Amino acid sequence: GESVGLHLPTLSVQEGDNSIINCAYSNSASDYFIWYKQESGKGPQFIIDIRSNMDKRQGQRVTVLLNKTVKHLSLQIAATQPGDSAVYFCAENTFRLGFQKLVFGTGTRLLVSP
């Protein structure tokens, strides 16, 4: 079946530390994964994505790692800042018959202390 889960519901870090948010997925046919950030009172915002033919992709202060062998996805945030405090969702994007289906995880709350 399809499921996208997160190992930790809440992650607390100190400002300046690196943060790692993990996500497990079960659909080996999924070919595209996305991380979203949701701040309080706002809608989810795209952070970074990765296709299944890649193992790693880097953005500004963020890196996504994909391990297809164990069906694991992680989001690394370098030098975490208070503004990074939010709920982070991974989403699994599966193309079937020409359209996408996004399956979202339940989210991990990142708390950054000054």
Partner 1 sequence: DADVTQTPRNRITKTGKRIMLECSQTKGHDRMYWYRQDPGLGLQLIYYSFDVKDINKGEISDGYSVSRQAQAKFSLSLESAIPNQTALYFCATSDTTSGGTTTGELFFGEGSRLTVL
Instruction: Give the tokens for residue 47.
Output: 């952070």
Taking CB under 8 A as the rule, does residue 114 contact partner 1? no
Taking CB under 8 A as the rule, does residue 1 contact partner 1? no
Radius of gyration of the chain (CA): 14
**Which residue, 34 or 112, is less far from partner 1 as judged by CB?**
34
Site for partner 1, residues 10 to 69, rule: CB under 8 A: 32, 34, 41-46, 49
Instruction: Give the tokens for residue 22.
Output: 């993990």
Taking CB under 8 A as the rule, does residue 8 contact partner 1? no
Question: From the CB of 6, what's the least distance to partner 1, in Å?
Answer: 9
The number of beta carbons lying within 10 Å of the beta carbon of residue 102 is 13
Residues forming a β-bridge with 92: 33, 103
Taking CB under 8 A as the rule, does residue 95 contact partner 1? yes
**Which residue, 76 or 94, is less far from partner 1 as judged by CB?**
94
User: What's the N-to-C CA distance of the chain in angstroms?
Assistant: 41
Taking CB under 8 A as the rule, does residue 100 contact partner 1? yes
Binding site for partner 1 (CB under 8 A): 4, 32, 34, 41-46, 49, 89, 93, 95, 98-102, 104-107
